[in-house]
Amino acid sequence: EAAVTQSPRNKVAVTGGKVTLSCNQTNNHNNMYWYRQDTGHGLRLIHYSYGAGSTEKGDIPDGYKASRPSQENFSLILELATPSQTSVYFCASGDGTGGNAEQFFGPGTRLTVL
């Protein structure tokens, strides 16, 4: 069954530390996305990718990097984590740029930065 998985599901990090959130999809979708979810802000796009080797900035990219080493995997990297990055992070995949294309979401990673 096609799916988007994320690891870890929960993470506690210290301020200034490096955090890597991983996402894997078996949908064979070209596009992948990273969002953060905060109360009162809904889902906001951080980075996205059109395929292996590509990364694009979303609406709130500051303080985050992304890496797409393969079709299946997309990582979100916090080089110097800060408490303001405490949030729930969702990865999604989509089958392209067609107008009808929906996105399929993973279960989320809850990140707490102390």
Partner 1 sequence: GDSVTQTEGPVTLSEGTSLTVNCSYETKQYPTLFWYVQYPGEGPQLLFKVPKANEKGSNRGFEATYNKEATSFHLQKASVQESDSAVYYCALRFNTNTGKLTFGDGTVLTVKP
Question: Toward partner 1, which CB reaches closer, 19 or 91?
Answer: 91
Closest approach, Cβ 102 to partner 1, in A, equals 5
Question: Toward partner 1, which CB reaches closer, 64 or 90?
Answer: 90
* Cβ neighbour number for residue 31 with a 10 Å cutoff: 22
Closest approach, Cβ 90 to partner 1, in A, equals 5
Rg of the chain over Cα atoms, rounded to whole angstroms, equals 13
Residues 13, 114 contacting (CB under 8 angstroms): yes
Integer Cα distance of 42 and 99 in angstroms: 22
Question: Interface with partner 1 by CB under 8 A: which residues?
Answer: 4, 31, 33, 35, 40-45, 48, 56, 58, 90, 92, 94, 96-108
